């Protein structure tokens, strides 16, 4: 790619005397230490954003609501609404929601093909399903739905929403997912079909809250041979009353165990804070992580406490001081 994406404008709430090295090494101890989102403009009213960059350098962002809305950007700053992924919404959605929209999409661009996993459900329901769609261009109306990959109901201990595809260095495909109930799960996929692996059908536990409180929106990242699991904790979607926050754990294997900085397993409620409410930024979460030309990006939504609690797009670069991610 010939064009390098510009770095985000950053405003950090730390003393002016702090050096650049100290900023990068900072592990926030209070909410005032967290950075504000980088500068973005245009159509940025989103929930559960996922963003990729294709071979031409174009950014494509998908989010929850009104079918599956797509936005594009050429500079990672100005975003414009492109339209709905589907020309016609899949008929099977009606079995999981009375509202013709999908939630929490996950985009991947690989080998010249766009792949999107997404979920269909209704708020607070365990009657949920994860679908798969593909496109050769990524343009609105060009996506072909491939049907249901995974579903959940009252007999399951998990909720089949918030999918995230991770392709490992050996070419294996893994899908993490989950919301509330018993937490975040992981299944293996067949790269040839994008569906469940025929000989590995295990549903593995990655993270959970022993008190059954909120944990959802997994995002898996591998860096220097170490796996990192990002997840959103607590309550989303309540405007300025939202308590969402982003935490992370790390592991030496894709299947875990994922431990936080203090060594507490994420299956026991552990998780090291990456970003939480601060200033006008309320309830950041619903995140995804994109590796771009200038580093890893944390892409999320938050509620603007100084703009009637409207949901907006947040983008921050991640630093990795000490082997742990922090937003800056």
Q: Could you tell me which of 38, 32, 30 has the C-alpha nearest to residue 13?
A: 32
* H-helix segments, 74-136: none
Q: Which of 106, 145, 216, 234 is catalytic?
A: 216
The structure tokens listed for 134 are 């593909």
276 is catalytic: no
The structure tokens listed for 111 are 């080998």
Q: Which of 48, 145, 260, 276 is catalytic?
A: 48
Contact 317, 296 (CB under 8 A): yes
Dist. CA 135–CA 115, nearest whole Å: 7
Q: Are strands 78-84 and 41-42 parallel, antiparallel or unpaired?
A: parallel
The per-residue b/e assignment along 149-185, b for 16 or more CB within 10 angstroms, e otherwise, is bbbbeeebebbbbbbbbbbeeeeebbbbbbbbbbbbb
Handedness of CA 174, 247, 323, 204 (dihedral sign): negative
168 is catalytic: no
Dist. CA 324–CA 251, nearest whole Å: 12
Residues classed as catalytic: 48, 216
């Amino acid at each position: 790619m010939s064009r390098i994406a510009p770095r985000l404008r950053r405003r950090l709430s730390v003393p002016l005397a702090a050096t650049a090295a100290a900023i990068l090494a900072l592990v926030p101890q209070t909410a005032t230490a967290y950075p504000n989102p980088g500068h973005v403009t245009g159509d940025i009213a989103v929930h559960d954003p996922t963003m990729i960059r294709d071979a031409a350098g174009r950014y494509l962002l998908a989010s929850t609501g009104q079918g599956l809305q797509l936005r594009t950007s050429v500079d990672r700053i100005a975003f414009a609404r492109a339209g709905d992924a589907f020309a016609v919404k899949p008929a099977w959605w009606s079995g999981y929601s009375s509202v013709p929209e999908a939630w929490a999409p996950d985009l991947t661009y690989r080998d010249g093909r766009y792949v999107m996993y997404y979920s269909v459900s209704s708020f607070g329901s365990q009657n949920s399903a994860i679908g798969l769609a593909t496109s050769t261009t990524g343009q609105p109306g060009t996506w072909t739905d491939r049907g249901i990959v995974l579903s959940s109901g009252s007999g399951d201990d998990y909720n089949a929403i918030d999918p995230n595809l991770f392709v490992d260095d050996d070419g294996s495909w893994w899908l993490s997912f989950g919301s509330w109930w018993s937490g975040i799960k992981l299944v293996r996929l067949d790269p040839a079909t994008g569906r469940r692996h025929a000989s590995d059908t295990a549903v593995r536990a990655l993270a959970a809250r022993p008190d059954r409180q909120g944990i959802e929106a997994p995002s898996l990242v591998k860096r220097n041979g170490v796996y990192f699991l990002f997840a959103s904790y607590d309550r989303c979607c309540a405007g300025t009353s939202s308590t969402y926050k982003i935490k992370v754990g790390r592991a030496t294997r894709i299947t875990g165990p994922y431990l936080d900085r203090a060594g507490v397993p994420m299956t026991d409620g552990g998780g090291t804070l990456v970003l939480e409410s601060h200033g006008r930024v309320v309830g950041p979460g619903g995140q995804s992580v994109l590796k771009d030309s200038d580093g890893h990006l944390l892409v999320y939504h938050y509620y603007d406490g100084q703009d009637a609690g409207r949901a907006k797009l947040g983008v921050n670069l991640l630093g990795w001081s000490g082997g742990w991610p922090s937003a800056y």
